Amino acid sequence: MSQAKWDELFSDSAREMKPSPIRELLRYISNPEIISFAGGNPDPFIFPVSEFAAGAIVLGRNGMEILQYGATEGYTPLRKFLSKWMAPRMGRETEPNELLITSGSQQGMDLLCAALLNPGDAVIVEDPTYPGAIHTMRNRGAQFLTVPCDADGMRTDLLPEVIETAQNDGKKIKFIYSIVNFQNPSGATLTTARRKELLDIASKYGLLIFEDDPYGHLRYEGGHEPTIFSMDQEGRVVYACSFSKILAPGVRVAWIVGPPNIIRKMVMIKQGADMCTSVISQALVASYCDDGYMDEFLPRIISHYAKKRDAMAAAFARHLPSDAQFSVPKGGFFFWVKLPGIDAKELFMKGIEHGVAFVNGPAFFANGGGTDCFRTCFTFAQPSDLDEGARRLAEAIADQRGE
């Protein structure tokens, strides 16, 4: 049946929408023969399945409450836990009106964009950045201003010129988006000095900072950098974190902290989006947290992923050609590889032929670029596959180069 007749009903923004590049890869990587370094998926073998299942006892205990609709702001025991558990990172316990539980950080990002962006407003993002952020912000009408990253994260020295040029062009900049720790995809962490500089620049130009931090707890070496939120004296930082990478993405529970008036607007938008994040899911997460498993399991997850990171580093050193440039991330999920002269989109198809998948560079660049780069995730593939995947990747590179 033809569906063309409904096309004219689509809104302007729906007409402009493109599918998420990473979600689109799923059709290739669902083939079990392919070793996937593509999606940013945690290792299912490290999910605390029995501890999480034990928490389901709350259903019997509090079923009448948690089978009911919940407050849009989130499930109170979970909000209380997060305010205390995050206090060392946030610099203080956050107030209830500063914190909103969301259905994944992806929703937090979408609600923030809905609260702040009019079509055509500008946002400043890192080059490269998380494709899911590009997708959400674009869907909400954002135009992108990009700032390159190096090994220390966003090049804050370039920021003032980007801001001034855009402001002189009459653009309205709404926020600066930074993935501060073990950035997706570059793996870089913003240094403390640059965090301060970012805050100073945001203050000078009157901008908001959106600090996205789903990987911050997963540090495999060195000490933690302070959050920008904890350094901020002016209430110009919105901070997001998630249970996806430190517990399980299937729970779809995350949180976002920020100035009460912004959080309040996001609550109103969420009322119209899904009323509340699944109360059952939040209650199971809260039960897991209150039983002390966050602190018990996190070190296990960290040492498990540190080994996998080392295995991917060793496999890349063993197999990839000598002109492949990558650095070993100190935390998070990803390696970012640059291969001068290669076309990463073509390499992706060669990779599929050779049985390995990754995400090619252009997906991470809001305004184009990254054609000779790609991202590999080391957390999902099983240890024996990390070496074999790197070997296949090297084969695909040689094949594409006609060697």
**Shortest CB 37 distance to ligand PLP, Å:** 14
Which one of the spans 86-94, 242-250, 269-277, 352-360 is the region binding ligand PLP (CB under 6 A)?
242-250
Number of residues that bind ligand PLP (CB under 6 A): 14
Among 249, 329, 351, 389, binds ligand PLP (CB under 6 A): 249
Using the minimum distance from each CB to ligand PLP, give the nearer residue, 153 or 387.
Answer: 153
Q: Does 106 bind ligand PLP (CB under 6 A)?
A: yes
Q: Per rule CB under 6 A, is residue 36 in the interface with ligand PLP?
A: no
Residue 279 near residue 299 (C-beta atoms within 8 A):
no
Identity of the residue, 249 or 391, whose beta carbon is nearer to ligand PLP in the bound complex? 249
Please identify, using beta-carbon distances, which residue of 145 and 246 lies nearer to ligand PLP.
Answer: 246
Give first-to-last CA distance, the chain, whole Å.
Answer: 48
* CB atoms inside a 10 Å sphere around CB 307: 13
Is the bond leading into 128 cis (omega within 30 degrees of zero)?
Answer: yes
Task: Give dist(CA 250, CA 66) in Å, integer.
Answer: 18
Cα(315)–Cα(191) distance, integer angstroms:
28
Residue 324, CA distances (Å) to 206, 312, 321 in order: 41, 14, 6
Taking the complex as a whole, the smallest distance from the CB of residue 40 to ligand PLP amounts, in Å, to 4
Note whether 40 binds ligand PLP by CB under 6 A: yes
Long-range CB contacts (within 8 A, 24+) of 257-262 = 257/86, 257/90, 257/94, 257/98, 257/99, 257/100, 257/229, 258/98, 258/112, 259/98, 259/235, 260/95, 260/97, 260/98, 262/112, 262/115, 262/116, 262/208, 262/238
CB of 218 to ligand PLP, least distance (A): 11
* Three-state DSSP class for residue 175: strand
Judged by CB under 6 A, which of 72, 83, 94, 105 binds ligand PLP? Answer: 105
Window 317 to 336, contacts with ligand PLP (CB under 6 A): none
Name the closest residue to ligand PLP (Cβ).
104
Identity of the residue, 83 or 184, whose beta carbon is nearer to ligand PLP in the bound complex: 184
Between 218 and 397, name the residue whose CB sits nearer to ligand PLP: 218
Q: Where would I find the beta strands (DSSP E) of 31-130?
A: 35-36, 99-102, 122-127
Q: Which stretch binds ligand PLP (CB under 6 A): 99-107, 158-166, 231-239, 376-384?
A: 99-107
- Minimum distance from residue 389 beta carbon to ligand PLP (Å): 20
Beta strand 373-377 with 359-360: parallel, antiparallel or unpaired?
A: antiparallel
Give the list of residues 6+ apart from residue 350 with CB closer than 8 angstroms, or none: 396, 397, 399, 400
User: Before 185, cis peptide (omega within 30)?
Assistant: yes
The CA angle 352-358-362, to the nearest 5 degrees, is 110
Instruction: Give residue 121's identity as a one-letter amino acid code.
Output: D
Structure letter (DSSP) for residue 331: B
From 65-73, 114-122, 241-249, 300-308, give the range in contact with ligand PLP by CB under 6 A. Answer: 241-249
Decide: is 212 part of the binding site for ligand PLP (CB under 6 A).
yes
Considering beta carbons, is residue 82 or 179 the nearer one to ligand PLP?
179
Q: Minimum distance between the CB of residue 214 and ligand PLP, rounded to whole angstroms?
A: 5
Binding mask 166-185 for ligand PLP (x = CB under 6 A): -------------x----x-
Judged by CB under 6 A, the residue of 74, 128, 214, 329 near ligand PLP is: 214
Task: Return the C-alpha torsion angle 6, 10, 14, 20, nearest 10.
Answer: -10
130 lies in the binding site for ligand PLP (CB under 6 A):
yes
Within 258-326, residue ranges assigned H as helices are 260-273, 279-290, 293-319
Select the residue interacting with ligand PLP from 242, 278, 282, 379 (CB under 6 A): 242
Note the residues at the interface with ligand PLP (CB under 6 A): 40, 104-106, 130, 132, 179, 184, 212, 214, 242, 244, 249, 254
